[in-house]
Amino acid sequence: MERVLPDWPARRRSRALERDLDVLGIPVPAPVPVTVTSDKARLFGRLYVLEGSRLGGRLLAKRAFGNANPQVRAATSYLGHGAGADFWRAFLQRLEESDAVAAAPERTMLGAREAFGLFLAEPADV
């Protein structure tokens, strides 16, 4: 991912999600197998889904902060990750400037569909 987004280490949210699961007393599930690709267009599609989820995360964070359950209010590391950073706008700029995306928009869409598919898959499907 760092080939596409050099600041990927700052964007990663897996540790934040693990903290939230710990606060909620939920075990970390087994990793989902993901097909590795070096195709930049596909990577941009996958990243579009991941980075776009930050927008929905902001809305969900507001609801969580207003929740009566203190555990829910405390489990917002993932939803609030990157608050104050302009990750989405910076991502869109790189996406729009990408020669790989311009040359193969269909592969970019493939990457997005792959990422959405992972989120939609039932645990038994993966």
Q: Render pLDDT for 81-113 as a digit per residue (tens, 0 to 9).
A: 998 899 999 999 999 999 999 999 999 999 999
Distance CA 7, CA 35 (A): 22
Q: Render pLDDT for 28-52 as a digit per residue (tens, 0 to 9).
A: 988 888 899 999 999 999 999 999 9
Least confident among 57-61, 71-75, 94-98, 120-124: 120-124
Q: What's the whole-model pTM score?
A: 0.88
Q: Render pLDDT for 15-31 as a digit per residue (tens, 0 to 9).
A: 999 999 999 999 998 88
